[in-house]
Chains A and B, each alone.
Chain A
Amino acid sequence: QVQLAESGGGVVQPGMSLRLSCAGSGFTFSSYTMHWVRQAPGKGLEWLAAISHEGSLTYHADSVKGRFTISRDNSKNTLYMDMNNLTPEDTAIYYCAREPYTFVFYYYMTLWGNGTTVTVSS
């Protein structure tokens, strides 16, 4: 079954760091561009970052650039988001998502995980 499963969310204090993971299964993970998108409580979707299939190209939204870093380990079929210096405004559901076709950036997403919740609170 083709699917994505996020993990690593939780409750953290402001200023702390967190690493999110996204495990892909049922498809050739190493062939697809991947993204992270978040959704604050009761708010809309916010694109955060994208990474090429082999990991050499990354793009980050200005809102998180310098604090968040997308990466991947294709040997483990896993996507990561390292998040530093978290603030309450980072409280959200974090989704990983896959593009529709292999090897090339299309910048839209056809496969989504169920999300993992990050709460930043003292």
Chain B
Amino acid sequence: EIVLTQSPGTLSLSPGDRATLSCGASQTIGNNYLAWYQQKPGQAPRLLIYASYRRATGIPERFGGSGSGTDFSLTISRLEPEDFAVYYCQHHSNSHPAFGQGTKVEI
């Protein structure tokens, strides 16, 4: 079972700032199959990134994913007001996908 640990728990930033979120895995993630989701209060999650760096349909270019093996990152180049939310990483490398505990990006 792959366990994902996200850091930091909370990121306090301002609009226009750059945000870097981390996701560490307890073991190597095959094919770097790591996804990122955004969730706003009262809403379902929304897929941002899959396979470490591939942007999902309709996701702005300011969202970027990187990493390999056990260390992955989500970068938001310039925070827009609508980007303040909770972000989850999720491995999709085997038949038991799992989520990290989340990082809250707050103003």
The chain A residues found within 8 Å of chain B, CB to CB, are 37, 44-47, 50, 59, 61-62, 95, 97, 100, 105-110, 112-115
Q: List 23 A-B contacts (CB under 8 A).
A: A37-B45, A44-B88, A44-B99, A44-B100, A45-B37, A45-B39, A45-B45, A45-B102, A47-B96, A47-B98, A47-B99, A59-B95, A61-B96, A95-B44, A100-B50, A106-B50, A106-B92, A108-B35, A108-B47, A109-B47, A110-B47, A110-B56, A114-B44
| Cα(A97)–Cα(B90), bound, Å | 14
| Shortest Cβ gap from B25 to chain A (Å) | 14
Q: Are A44 and B97 in contact (CB under 8 A)?
A: no
Distance, CA A120 to CA B17, complexed state (A): 42
* Among candidates A44, A50, A62, A100, residue contacting B101 with C-beta atoms closer than 8 Å: A44
Q: Specify which of A46, A47, A100, A114 lies most central, judged by the most chain B CB atoms within 10 Å of its CB.
A: A47
Closest to A115 in B: B44
Chain B residue numbers with a CB within 8 Å of A50 are 95, 97
Q: A108 and B90: CB pair below 8 A?
A: yes
Task: Say whether A108 contacts B95, CB under 8 Å.
Answer: no
Among A62, A107, A114, point to the contact of B97 (Cβ < 8 A): A107
Contact of B95 among A44, A95, A107 (CB under 8 A): A107
Q: Which of B37, B46, B95, B99 contacts A46 (CB under 8 A)?
A: B99
Find out whether the CB atom of B44 lies under 8 angstroms from the CB atom of A107: no
Among B57, B88, B93, B94, the residue within 8 A (CB) of A45 is B88
CB distance from B44 to the nearest CB of A (A): 4
Chain A residues, CB < 8 A from B82: none
